[in-house]
Structure 1
Amino acid sequence: MGGATGGPGKTPGVYLGWWGNFGGLPQKGVTTYALSANRQKLFAGATNAAVFNTWRRFKGAVLYVAPPFVLYYFLMDWANKYNHFLNSKEGRALHANDEE
Protein backbone atom coordinates (compact mmCIF):
# COMPACT_ATOMS: atom_id res chain seq x y z
CA MET A 1 0.00 0.00 0.00
CA GLY A 2 0.94 3.62 0.00
CA GLY A 3 2.54 5.80 2.62
CA ALA A 4 1.13 8.69 4.61
CA THR A 5 2.11 11.28 1.98
CA GLY A 6 -0.60 10.14 -0.42
CA GLY A 7 -0.41 8.12 -3.54
CA PRO A 8 0.52 4.49 -3.98
CA GLY A 9 4.15 3.61 -3.51
CA LYS A 10 5.05 6.92 -1.83
CA THR A 11 6.80 6.65 1.48
CA PRO A 12 7.08 9.40 4.07
CA GLY A 13 10.17 11.57 3.85
CA VAL A 14 10.83 10.91 0.15
CA TYR A 15 11.33 13.98 -2.05
CA LEU A 16 8.46 14.18 -4.54
CA GLY A 17 9.97 16.73 -6.94
CA TRP A 18 9.28 20.32 -7.84
CA TRP A 19 5.88 21.78 -8.74
CA GLY A 20 4.32 19.98 -11.70
CA ASN A 21 6.80 17.10 -11.45
CA PHE A 22 5.82 15.29 -8.28
CA GLY A 23 8.17 12.37 -8.60
CA GLY A 24 6.59 11.08 -11.80
CA LEU A 25 8.18 10.67 -15.18
CA PRO A 26 8.74 13.84 -17.18
CA GLN A 27 5.96 14.63 -19.63
CA LYS A 28 6.66 13.86 -23.26
CA GLY A 29 5.40 15.55 -26.41
CA VAL A 30 5.49 19.14 -25.07
CA THR A 31 7.65 21.49 -27.09
CA THR A 32 8.60 24.91 -25.79
CA TYR A 33 10.21 27.70 -27.76
CA ALA A 34 12.13 30.71 -26.51
CA LEU A 35 13.55 33.81 -28.13
CA SER A 36 16.51 35.64 -26.74
CA ALA A 37 15.67 39.06 -25.30
CA ASN A 38 18.24 40.82 -27.46
CA ARG A 39 16.70 39.29 -30.62
CA GLN A 40 13.23 40.68 -30.06
CA LYS A 41 12.05 43.86 -31.74
CA LEU A 42 10.60 45.64 -28.74
CA PHE A 43 8.87 48.47 -30.59
CA ALA A 44 8.02 46.71 -33.84
CA GLY A 45 4.87 48.39 -35.14
CA ALA A 46 4.39 50.43 -31.96
CA THR A 47 4.00 53.79 -33.69
CA ASN A 48 1.63 52.41 -36.30
CA ALA A 49 -0.45 50.63 -33.66
CA ALA A 50 -0.43 53.72 -31.44
CA VAL A 51 -1.78 55.96 -34.20
CA PHE A 52 -4.59 53.62 -35.22
CA ASN A 53 -5.45 52.64 -31.64
CA THR A 54 -5.61 56.30 -30.63
CA TRP A 55 -7.88 57.08 -33.61
CA ARG A 56 -10.14 54.11 -32.78
CA ARG A 57 -10.47 55.17 -29.14
CA PHE A 58 -11.06 58.82 -30.10
CA LYS A 59 -13.73 57.84 -32.61
CA GLY A 60 -15.50 55.75 -29.98
CA ALA A 61 -15.51 58.48 -27.33
CA VAL A 62 -15.99 61.69 -29.31
CA LEU A 63 -19.80 61.47 -29.36
CA TYR A 64 -19.84 61.17 -25.56
CA VAL A 65 -17.46 64.07 -24.95
CA ALA A 66 -17.99 66.61 -27.74
CA PRO A 67 -21.74 67.46 -27.38
CA PRO A 68 -21.59 68.32 -23.66
CA PHE A 69 -18.34 70.23 -24.24
CA VAL A 70 -19.91 72.31 -27.04
CA LEU A 71 -23.06 72.88 -24.97
CA TYR A 72 -21.12 74.04 -21.91
CA TYR A 73 -18.86 76.21 -24.07
CA PHE A 74 -21.81 78.10 -25.59
CA LEU A 75 -23.54 78.32 -22.19
CA MET A 76 -20.39 79.77 -20.61
CA ASP A 77 -19.95 82.19 -23.52
CA TRP A 78 -23.55 83.38 -23.14
CA ALA A 79 -23.16 83.74 -19.35
CA ASN A 80 -19.98 85.83 -19.74
CA LYS A 81 -21.60 88.11 -22.31
CA TYR A 82 -24.71 88.50 -20.15
CA ASN A 83 -22.56 89.28 -17.12
CA HIS A 84 -20.67 91.95 -19.06
CA PHE A 85 -24.00 93.38 -20.22
CA LEU A 86 -25.40 93.50 -16.68
CA ASN A 87 -22.27 95.30 -15.46
CA SER A 88 -22.34 97.79 -18.32
CA LYS A 89 -24.06 101.18 -18.29
CA GLU A 90 -26.98 99.89 -20.39
CA GLY A 91 -27.48 96.82 -18.21
CA ARG A 92 -27.48 98.81 -15.00
CA ALA A 93 -29.95 101.29 -16.45
CA LEU A 94 -32.23 98.48 -17.63
CA HIS A 95 -32.26 96.72 -14.23
CA ALA A 96 -31.94 99.75 -11.95
CA ASN A 97 -35.41 99.34 -10.41
CA ASP A 98 -35.08 95.57 -9.85
CA GLU A 99 -32.91 95.89 -6.71
CA GLU A 100 -35.58 96.43 -4.10
Structure 2
Amino acid sequence: MNVEAALKTLGRHRRREGQLALTRPTQKDRVLAQLRDGPTCGTEFLDMKIPRYGGRILELRQGGHNITNEKCWKHQHYSHQTIYRLRKEAGIS
Protein backbone atom coordinates (compact mmCIF):
# COMPACT_ATOMS: atom_id res chain seq x y z
CA MET A 1 0.00 0.00 0.00
CA ASN A 2 1.46 3.38 -0.93
CA VAL A 3 1.68 6.33 1.43
CA GLU A 4 -1.27 8.22 -0.04
CA ALA A 5 -3.58 5.20 0.23
CA ALA A 6 -2.51 4.52 3.81
CA LEU A 7 -3.17 8.10 4.84
CA LYS A 8 -6.59 8.12 3.21
CA THR A 9 -7.45 4.85 4.96
CA LEU A 10 -6.29 5.91 8.40
CA GLY A 11 -7.14 9.59 8.42
CA ARG A 12 -7.10 11.51 11.67
CA HIS A 13 -9.81 11.61 14.31
CA ARG A 14 -11.31 14.65 15.97
CA ARG A 15 -14.33 15.22 18.15
CA ARG A 16 -17.31 16.99 16.67
CA GLU A 17 -20.62 17.20 18.53
CA GLY A 18 -19.78 14.17 20.67
CA GLN A 19 -18.87 11.96 17.71
CA LEU A 20 -15.59 10.97 16.14
CA ALA A 21 -15.27 12.25 12.60
CA LEU A 22 -12.55 11.32 10.13
CA THR A 23 -10.65 14.26 8.71
CA ARG A 24 -8.20 14.42 5.86
CA PRO A 25 -4.51 14.40 6.77
CA THR A 26 -2.84 17.78 6.57
CA GLN A 27 -0.18 18.55 3.97
CA LYS A 28 2.39 18.43 6.77
CA ASP A 29 1.18 14.91 7.71
CA ARG A 30 1.41 13.82 4.07
CA VAL A 31 4.95 15.24 3.65
CA LEU A 32 6.12 13.52 6.86
CA ALA A 33 4.58 10.19 5.79
CA GLN A 34 6.28 10.43 2.40
CA LEU A 35 9.65 11.23 4.01
CA ARG A 36 9.25 8.26 6.37
CA ASP A 37 8.79 6.11 3.27
CA GLY A 38 12.20 7.19 1.93
CA PRO A 39 14.09 10.00 0.20
CA THR A 40 11.68 12.17 -1.78
CA CYS A 41 12.28 14.55 -4.69
CA GLY A 42 10.49 17.88 -4.83
CA THR A 43 8.75 16.83 -8.04
CA GLU A 44 7.21 13.89 -6.16
CA PHE A 45 5.63 16.34 -3.70
CA LEU A 46 4.29 18.29 -6.68
CA ASP A 47 2.79 15.06 -8.05
CA MET A 48 1.09 14.64 -4.65
CA LYS A 49 -0.54 18.08 -5.17
CA ILE A 50 1.58 19.77 -2.47
CA PRO A 51 2.92 22.84 -4.31
CA ARG A 52 4.36 24.58 -1.21
CA TYR A 53 6.13 21.53 0.21
CA GLY A 54 9.13 23.69 1.20
CA GLY A 55 6.98 25.42 3.81
CA ARG A 56 5.80 22.11 5.21
CA ILE A 57 9.41 20.85 5.39
CA LEU A 58 10.37 24.03 7.26
CA GLU A 59 7.54 23.43 9.75
CA LEU A 60 8.73 19.85 10.29
CA ARG A 61 12.32 21.04 10.81
CA GLN A 62 11.14 23.63 13.32
CA GLY A 63 9.23 20.83 15.07
CA GLY A 64 12.49 18.93 15.63
CA HIS A 65 12.65 16.63 12.60
CA ASN A 66 16.13 16.33 11.09
CA ILE A 67 15.50 16.63 7.35
CA THR A 68 18.47 16.96 5.01
CA ASN A 69 18.49 17.93 1.36
CA GLU A 70 20.83 17.29 -1.57
CA LYS A 71 20.77 17.37 -5.36
CA CYS A 72 18.27 14.87 -6.74
CA TRP A 73 19.83 11.68 -8.13
CA LYS A 74 16.56 9.75 -8.59
CA HIS A 75 15.43 11.39 -11.83
CA GLN A 76 16.76 13.04 -14.97
CA HIS A 77 15.84 16.70 -14.38
CA TYR A 78 16.38 19.60 -16.78
CA SER A 79 17.04 21.96 -13.88
CA HIS A 80 18.39 21.67 -10.34
CA GLN A 81 15.98 19.75 -8.12
CA THR A 82 16.33 18.79 -4.47
CA ILE A 83 15.77 15.46 -2.76
CA TYR A 84 14.79 15.45 0.92
CA ARG A 85 15.63 12.76 3.46
CA LEU A 86 14.31 12.27 7.01
CA ARG A 87 17.33 11.53 9.22
CA LYS A 88 15.77 11.63 12.68
CA GLU A 89 12.24 12.09 13.96
CA ALA A 90 11.40 14.67 16.61
CA GLY A 91 11.45 13.20 20.11
CA ILE A 92 13.22 9.98 19.05
CA SER A 93 16.80 9.37 20.14
TM-score class, shorter: under 0.3
Higher-helix-fraction structure: 1
Please identify the structure whose Cα radius of gyration is greater: 1
Q: Tell me the TM-score normalized by structure 2.
A: 0.18
Report the TM-score, using the length of structure 1 for normalisation. Answer: 0.17
